[in-house]
Amino acid sequence: MIRRDAHDLLPLTPAMFHVLVALADGETHGYAIMKDVEELTGGGVRLSTGTLYGIIKRLLADGLIRESYGAQRGDDRRRAHALTAFGRDVARAEAARLEHTLSIARRKPLFRKA
């Protein structure tokens, strides 16, 4: 397989990034991702089902996540999703990019923490 450079996909949309972050702890299914994103952002980002699955489709197509049937509870047959190694790389690269951007801004007094 051709090795792809994680940086080719940057920058990610904030919503995409949040989904990757929500998956960082391990595989999980759609509703859990939504709740996680909402919790992590303190209610700031609320994904709708349409938006979420649009993102999942793109992340799957780009190979950032994969489908997983491992953690099925009872009769819950819905698919869960998990980060791939490449997805992990991309998420890290995006985090680094954001950090770097912020550090540039911090050189000005306006953006320094109080």
Partner 1 sequence: MSKSQRFFRALLRLFPAEFRGDFGDDMTATFNDQARDALAQGDRMAALRLWRDTIAGILTTAPREHLDVLRSDVRYALRNLRRNPGFTTVAVIALAVGIGANTAVFSIVNGVLLQSLPYKDPGALVIMFEKWPNTPVDKFEFSAPDFEIVRSLARSFSGMAAFRSTTFELSGTMEPQRIVGTRISPELIGVLGAAPAVGRGITADDDRTAARVAVLSHGLWTRAFGRDPGIVGRTIQLDGQGYTVVGVMPENFSFPPRGGGRNAEPADLYLPIAFTPFERGAFGMMYNNTVVARLAPGVTFAQARAEIGSMLPTLAERYPPILRQLAAAITIPMSGFADEVVGGSRRMILVLMGAVAMVLLIGCVDVANLMLTRAGSRQRELAVRSALGASAPRMVRQLLTEGFVLASLGAVAGGLLAYWTMELLLSLAGTSLPRVESIRFDGRVIAFTVALALVTPLVFGVVPAIRAAVQSTFEALKEGTRAATPGRGRHRLLASLVVAQFALALMLSVGAGLLVRSFIRLLASNPGFRSEHVVTATTTVPVGRYASGPQVKQFYLRATDATHAIPGVTANGASTDRPLNIQERRTFTPDASARELPELSRVIAATWTIGSYFEAMGIPLKRGRFFTDADGRGGQPVVIINELMANRLWPDQDPIGRQIKWGIAASQSPWMTIVGVVGDVKQSALGTETIAQTYEPLFQLPDAPRVANFYRTINLVVRSSREPASVLADLRATIQRLDPALPVTNAQALADVVGESVKPQRFSMTVVAAFALIALGLAAIGIYGVLANAVSQETHEIGVRMALGARPSTVVWSVLRRSLALMAVGVVIGGAGALAITRVMSGLLYEVRPTDAATFATSVLVLAGLAVAASLVPAWRATRVDPLIALRAE
Question: What are the residues binding partner 1 (CB under 8 A)?
Answer: 29-31, 34, 46-54, 56-57, 76, 78-79
Give least dist CB 31 to partner 1, A.
4
Give least dist CB 54 to partner 1, A.
4
What type of residue sits at position 79? R
Quick one: how far is CA 65 from the chain centroid?
9
Q: How many helices (H) and strands (E) does the chain have?
A: 4, 3
Cα distances from 7 to residues 89, 91, 100, in angstroms, run 9, 10, 14
Please, which residue, 63 or 97, has the CB nearer to partner 1?
63
β-sheet with 80-83: strand ranges across: 28-29, 80-83, 65-68
Please, which residue, 15 or 98, has the CB nearer to partner 1?
15
Please, which residue, 3 or 77, has the CB nearer to partner 1?
77
Please, which residue, 34 or 93, has the CB nearer to partner 1?
34
Give least dist CB 91 to partner 1, A.
22
